[in-house]
Structure 1
Amino acid sequence: MFMILIRLALLALFAFIIYSIFKYLLNPKRKLEIAHEQKNFYLLDQRSNVRKNFLLTYKGVMFEGEKYLGTTDRAFEVISIFIWPKNPEKLQGLKKHDFEFIQKEVRKQYPDALIDWKSPIKEFLKGERGLR
């Protein structure tokens, strides 16, 4: 009887370890960290939760976006998004077309949203601080 309990405990432990490995491999934050390290694009967002900000990484720069709910002709949708870099010093080397790419990818998720950038990107895109 005692051997059966030990075998069941080992089986349960094995199942828990397998479950933990799959949960770790499929974790979206882990995918974001990998994309950030590899300098790829990745957008981590909970579309169903408007109050939760989204994170995105592009070319090794981490951005955060804040969503605001409003009304459109059809329904309540996200109508405004503010995006800013988490570390502005890492923006070196990014060009205007990089920010246009980010805007295009965010618009795929939120087509009705007006996207605004916070400083210093806002000034760069307006041309106030062009390339010298």
Structure 2
Amino acid sequence: MIVLLFRLLIFIALALLVYTIVQYFRNPDRKLQLAKAANTFYMVDDPGNSKKNIQFVYKSCLFEGEKYIDATEESFEVVDIHVFAHDTDELEGITRDDLYFIEKELLIRYPHAAITWKYPINKLILTTID
């Protein structure tokens, strides 16, 4: 009887270990950090949850977008996204074309949204091109 209980505990411990490993590899924060290290674009978003912010990495810079929902002509949609950078020092090397790429990716997912950039990114967009 004790041997069977011991085997059951070992089986439960192995199942918990496998579950923990799977959860580690599926963690979106880990994927964001990998994309940041690889200098690629990666977005974490839950389109069904308007209260959860969008997080994305582009050119090793971590951005976050706050979604705001409002009524459109047919339904309630995300109509405004306020984007800011977590660390402004990471913005070095980001160009206006990069910001247009980010806006395009956001508009693919949220076509009714108006994207608002917060300081200091909005200074780059407001300056005139010579």
Short-chain TM bin: over 0.9
3-state SS, counterpart of residue 82 of structure 1: strand
**Residue 36 of structure 1: how far off its partner (Å):** 1.5
Aligned residue in 2 for 1:29: 29
Show structure 1 runs of 5+ residues with no match.
Answer: none
Equivalent pairs: percent with the same residue?
Answer: 37
**Residue 52 of structure 1: how far off its partner (Å):** 2.0
Matched, 1:76 2:76: yes
TM-score, structure 1 normalization: 0.91
Aligned residue in 2 for 1:107: 107
Moved segments of 4+, more than 2 Å: none
Aligned residue in 1 for 2:47: 47
TM-score, structure 2 normalization: 0.92
- The residue type paired with residue 11 of structure 1 is F
- CA displacement, residues 18-57 of structure 1 (integer Å, 9 cap, x when unaligned): 1111111111121112111222111112222212221111
3-state SS, counterpart of residue 104 of structure 1: helix
Query: Quick one: distance in 2 between partners of 1:101 and 1:16?
Result: 42
**Residue 11 of structure 1: how far off its partner (Å):** 1.0
Query: Quick one: distance in 1 between partners of 2:83 and 2:47?
Result: 16
Query: Quick one: distance in 2 between partners of 1:6 and 1:74?
Result: 60
Aligned residue in 2 for 1:97: 97
Aligned residue in 2 for 1:12: 12
- CA displacement, residues 53-100 of structure 1 (integer Å, 9 cap, x when unaligned): 211111110111111111111100000111011111211111111111
3-state SS, counterpart of residue 48 of structure 1: coil
Q: Which piece of structure 1 moves more, 48-57 or 11-20? A: 48-57
Query: Quick one: distance in 1 between partners of 2:51 and 2:83?
Result: 14
**RMSD of the TM alignment (CA)?**
1.5
Show structure 2 runs of 5+ residues with no match.
Answer: none
